[in-house]
Amino acid sequence: MRAMQLFAPRTPLAANEIAEPTPGAGEILVAVCACGVCRTDLHIADGELAVPRLPIVPGHEIVGRVVARGEGARRFEVGERVGIPWLAWTCGTCEACRRGQENLCENARFTGLHRDGGYAERAVADERFAVAIPPSYTDAEAAPLLCAGLIGYRAYAMTGEAARIGIYGFGAAAHVIAQVAIAQGREIYAFTRPGDAMGRDFALGLGCRWAGDSNRPPPVALDAAILFAPVGSLVPAALAATRPGGIVVCAGIHMSDIPSFPYSLVWGERCVRSVANLTRSDAQSFMRIAAQIPIRATVHGYSLAEANRALDDLRRGAFEGAAVLVLT
């Protein structure tokens, strides 16, 4: 099968013909229809996240059709459309798993990091960690839901009952979860790169109450803020923008160092917390919401062979919304 492989950090992906994987016990073989290009893929390619093995096929926003099932795999029928997300496997026995926090599993395996992902024509997944896709979405529209949507949803859930939510970094995750929050009656304040008029217009077009540069204060005090931009210097800015008792959620798997800041920014029972990975429960809950709310996923399609260009465009901020490799 055709695949794009990373052989070394900070080098382009290589187009290769590799052996088609075989599903083991409890696994499904999926013909990849589309795979989102996530910022985590960029962190892996740029050497900002350690990769346990090389070469690796990146990609963890996979939408495809089941073409074969391993021994004992019965959850999905052959021909059924499924999604394969970032969380690929957990041990079920470590302390975190026993607490019901499988996203913190000490032995977790992740798609496109430990296991070959969706920058290929076929991918194998543990059927327990795959998820059904609402039929109202095309393959390309569904792909960003598998990480941008799921991580965005987990971060959004951590804001509790916040009525006014700021979002720093208005990319794939932000543009998905902003629509969910607005549909549920929340006010969204979008912070974009300084001078990014196109980004501000994009956010306002989705129904955000306000959009402005990330180095500007919002017009009102926020109840909570979510940081999707991997920029540590935005943490103090987000704290300054929130009211006493507010919450700042850092939603990226990688972030530059957070600079020192005065105690007054956290005084008043402000809270800073992070999001780590996702759970199967997150996936099931979010897909139920996605079936009810018509999320308009703004996608930019690339062929499998154009994966390097997609990563470069993401690195440069060349588009609004999400990049997706489309294989069918």
Count of domains for the chain: 2
Quote the CA–CA distance of 63 and 93 in Å, as a whole number: 29
Residues 89 and 229 in one domain: no
Quote the CA–CA distance of 238 and 42 in Å, as a whole number: 24
On the CB side of 161, CA atoms within 13 Å amount to 1
Residues 138 and 239 in one domain: no
Residues 95 and 191 in one domain: no
Residues 141 and 6 in one domain: yes
Residues 37 and 143 in one domain: yes
Q: What is the pLDDT confidence band of residue 252, given thresholds at 50, 70 and 90? A: confident
Residues 189 and 67 in one domain: no
Residues 187 and 310 in one domain: no
CB neighbours of residue 182 within 10 Å? 17
> What is the CATH number for 31?
3.90.180.10
Residues 134 and 168 in one domain: no
Please state whether the predicted TM-score (pTM) of the whole model is above 0.75. Answer: yes
Q: What is the pLDDT of residues 30-41, one digit of tens each?
A: 999 999 999 999
Q: Tell whether omega for the bond before 55 is within 30 degrees of 0, i.e. cis.
A: yes
Asked if residue 201 has pLDDT above 90, the reply is: yes
> What is the CATH number for 226?
3.40.50.720
* DSSP helix/strand/coil, 145: helix
Q: What is the pLDDT of residues 203-234, one digit of tens each?
A: 999 999 999 999 999 999 999 999 999 999 99
Q: What is the pLDDT confidence band of residue 183, given thresholds at 50, 70 and 90? A: very high
Residues 160 and 143 in one domain: no
Q: What is the pLDDT confidence band of residue 124, given thresholds at 50, 70 and 90? A: very high
Asked if residue 85 has pLDDT above 90, the reply is: yes
Residues 268 and 288 in one domain: no
pLDDT for the residue numbered 9: 95
Residues 7 and 130 in one domain: yes
Residues 162 and 253 in one domain: yes
Q: Domain range spanning residue 67?
A: 2-147+278-326
Q: What is the pLDDT confidence band of residue 328, given thresholds at 50, 70 and 90? A: confident
